[in-house]
Amino acid sequence: MTKRSLKVLILIICVLSLTPFQRASASDKYYVTTRIYGQNRYETSFNIAENFDDSMVDNVILANGENFPDALSGSVLSKKFNAPILLVDNSNFDNNKYLQDYIYNHLSKGGNIYLLGGEASVSPAYVSQLKKTGNYNFIRLGGKDRFDTNISIVDEMQVKTGTPVIIVSEENFPDALSISSVAALRGYPILMSNKDNLPDKIGQELSIIKPSKVYIIGGNSVVSDQVRNQVQNILDYTGQDDIVRIYGDDRYETSLNICRYFNLDSNSVVLANGTNFPDALSGSALAAKLNSPIILIDGEDAEKQKGYIDSVKYNRIFILGGNTSVSSTIEDSFKGENLNIGSKFGKDYNSIIVDYKIGDVIGNGSDQNVILTNDEHNVSKLIIQDSKTGSILFKKAYNDYFPPKGKIELSDMNGDKVKDIIVTMEYGGSALMQACDIETFKNQKLTFLGTNMNETTYFPMQEDDLTFSLLNRNSLNIYSNISKKRYTVDLSSDKYINDADKSLKIYPYVGHGPRFLTCDVDSDGVNELGIYQDISGANRDDIIASFITYYKYQESGMWKPVECMVSSNYPIYNIDK
């Protein structure tokens, strides 16, 4: 080799050694970014819950929106019971309209409402108000102080002997929130401690659980070595390696180090402001459901966090809070697709995003973005997008003209163990009517299972099932041909009827609806389609009764009615079969 060739080779090696190979590939990484926020922490909590589950749930968790300690260990309970966390405002009940909306629309009848903390955290006055909205079970997990509440929550988890535990500071919420989704996913209870002293009742709980490993979150200034030594003395069977401290120079580095240590196998990551606990608290339930870590940022600078995310496989970014919590600069640094309801969708000209969901609807083991758009002419489209590359895989336009208001749900409706796409569009104004379209993938193309859009009806309407009549103005008789049940709704307490002119004709009719929902009513793992309508009376503004008829998809392509349920704010009696 000549001297000239050697110099050229050395120069090439030097240039290559300076080239940031990892950063070059990271800059090409495609992200799907979603920001979840509201006008305040309570609406943000509601919107996070909608992303947690916008269908029906059997449990919800209520936590105080101003005081974090009672709720810190609630994320583990959220995972166990598949329950979103909603924030309560004890001082201004108007802020609770968001959680009431979620409970009314998503909590199943007879569902459980867990109250985290004592009466100072979730007030009895508000619970009394909430009890009037439906037949729910209320379970309070609280005590005379935050440590009693902590133990009540842990006891509700029914932790098995030997389960690892996590110890956090009772005064330092960021570290607890950073570990919350990990704890929920692993089923590790979170126990709180003072800085320099482990409370006796927490020590007793450790003795009962007999954990095989203990994780202390935060540095010595947060949870001191004195607490570590107390833990070691209580659990005298443990070695030095069985008690692990995870910490950093500040809350943000601690958060990153938690992420690095546990290295969750996920495509998603949740970003939250490290100085604002409510968003991260509500988001901990969503993170756990997504198998995602929570990474805290200061709201303006996320260079370290972005560098870490670029280096691993996370490609779905969930940002909690508005621009004052996490700046748009941080959001824009994740190049790719921004899926935010109400924002423009760049790959569909002059269209806005009405709703979206992310999941595997094709059955290939990878997630797709399932997006509902609406353009300037009120033409709606269902779009399936590759979440890793952004390319459009499938697109379907609806011929009917709908306002930009609708929902997407992903759920297995035909029993093939692949999520189908349920699109509902609002079009009825005060009549609260919806159009519905259910699509599945068959032979590599979209195929409808049922629709009442595009001037086609493939759902039988449930008026054919019910007969009803008003007797003596005080009783509504209802009979269901499906369930073979007879219902009598007692209207004798209705002030309008009692005060009305006797010559005024009052007769019941199907008023609001149809509206659509999904629910696994027979518990076979496949959802049924529920069609919901209200019975109203002429010259009446209120609703006499409501009914839902559930239909099951058949291999023949038809929908078979399998159940009918009637409910009312008035007393229902004399039910027979």
**Pair (144, 216) in one structural domain:** yes
How far apart (Å, rounded) are the C-alpha atoms in residues 234 and 50? 43
Amino acid found at 4: R
Q: Do 49 and 147 fall within a single domain?
A: yes
Model confidence at 497: pLDDT above 80: no
Q: Is 131 helix (H, G, I), strand (E, B) or coil?
A: helix
For the residues of 511-574, what is the DSSP string, one character each? -S--EEEEE-TT-SSSPEEEEEEEEEETT--SEEEEEEEEEEE-TTS-EEEEEEEEE-SS-EEE
HEC-encoded secondary structure of 212-226: CCEEEECCCCCCCHH
Question: Residue 188 carries which DSSP code?
Answer: P
For 421, other C-beta atoms within 10 Å of its C-beta total 26
Report whether pLDDT(566) > 50.
yes
Write phi, then psi, for 342 (nearest 5 degrees).
95, -15
Q: For residue 331, what pLDDT band results from cuts at 50, 70 and 90? A: very high
Residue 11 has pLDDT above 50, yes or no: no
Which pair of tokens denotes residue 427? 């079009």
22 has pLDDT over 50: no
pTM of the predicted model, to two decimals?
A: 0.79
pLDDT by residue (tens digit) across 171-199? Answer: 888 999 999 999 999 999 999 999 999 99
> Can you tell me the distance from the alpha carbon of 507 to that of 540, in angstroms, rounded to the nearest whole number?
10
Do 55 and 169 have their domain in common? yes
Binned at pLDDT 50, 70 and 90, residue 456 comes out as: low
Mean pLDDT calculated for residue range 431-458: 80
Answer yes or no: are the C-beta atoms of 535 and 520 closer than 8 Å: no
- What pLDDT does 577 receive? 57
Residue 129 φ/ψ, nearest 5 degrees: -65, -40
In a domain, 346, yes or no: no
State whether 90 and 228 are in the same domain.
yes
Strand partners, 410: 421
* Distance separating alpha carbons of residues 434 and 383, to the nearest angstrom: 20
Report whether pLDDT(50) > 90.
no
Longest dimension (CA), the chain: 114
Name the domain boundary from 386, 411, 429: 429
* Whether residue 176 sits in one domain with residue 93: yes
401 inside domain:
yes
Would 360 be classed as within a structural domain? yes
Q: Does any domain span residue 441?
A: no
Residue 499 or residue 468, greater confidence: 468
Better pLDDT: 436 or 491: 436
Instruction: Give the DSSP H or E segment for 204.
Output: helix 200-209
The tokens describing 380, both together, are 């709606």
- Cβ-contact 189, 152 below 8 angstroms: no
Whether residue 383 is found in the same domain as residue 527? no
pLDDT tens sequence across 24-45:
345 578 899 999 999 899 999 9
pLDDT for residue 19: 37
In tens, the pLDDT along 244-273 reads 999 999 999 999 999 999 999 998 999 999
**Domain for residue 1, yes or no?**
no
Q: Are residues 235 and 86 in the same domain?
A: yes
Quick one: CA dihedral 89, 92, 98, 101, positive or negative? positive
The confidence band for 17, taking pLDDT boundaries of 50, 70 and 90, is very low
**552 with 559: CB under 8 angstroms?**
yes
User: What's the pLDDT at 503?
Assistant: 59
Instruction: Note the pLDDT of residue 169.
Output: 94
Q: Got the DSSP string for 225-252?
A: HHHHHHHHHHTTT--GGGEEEE--SSHH
- For 258-262, 448-452, 552-556, which range has the lowest pLDDT when averaged over its residues? 448-452
CA separation for the pair 223, 227 (Å, rounded): 7
Strand order in the sheet with 316-320: 294-297, 268-273, 316-320, 31-36, 336-338
pLDDT, position 418: 94
CA–CA dist 77, 74 (Å, integer): 5
Residue ending a domain, among 268, 303, 338, is: 338
Contacts of 496 (CB under 8 A, 6+ apart): 540, 542
Residues 422 and 326 in one domain: no
Selected residue with higher pLDDT from 496 and 572: 572
How does DSSP classify residue 478?
E
Structure tokens given for 209: 């659980």
pLDDT at 504 over 70: no
**Three-state SS for 186?**
helix
522, pLDDT greater than 50: yes
pLDDT of residue 13: 37
Q: How far apart are CA 43 and CA 15, in angstroms?
A: 52
Report yes or no: 252 and 203 within 8 Å, Cβ to Cβ: no
116: pLDDT strictly greater than 90:
yes
Q: Is the pLDDT of residue 64 over 50?
A: yes
Percent of the residues in the chain that have a pLDDT greater than 70, as a whole number: 88
Domain that holds residue 425: 351-429
Same domain, 334 and 357: no
In a domain, 3, yes or no: no
The Cα–Cα gap between 191 and 278 comes to: 19
Is 442 inside any structural domain?
A: no
Mean pLDDT of 514-524: 87
pLDDT in tens, 69-90: 777 788 889 999 999 999 999 8
End residue of a domain, out of 370, 404, 429: 429
Residues 399 and 530 in one domain: no
Q: Is residue 168 part of a domain?
A: yes
Q: How many domains does the chain have?
A: 3
**Can you give the pLDDT at residue 576?**
67
77 and 177 in a common domain: yes
For residue 319, what pLDDT is reported? Answer: 95
Cis peptide preceding 293, ω within 30 of 0: no
Q: How confident is the model at residue 459 (pLDDT cuts 50, 70, 90)?
A: low
- How much is the mean pLDDT over the chain? 85
318 and 371 together in one domain: no
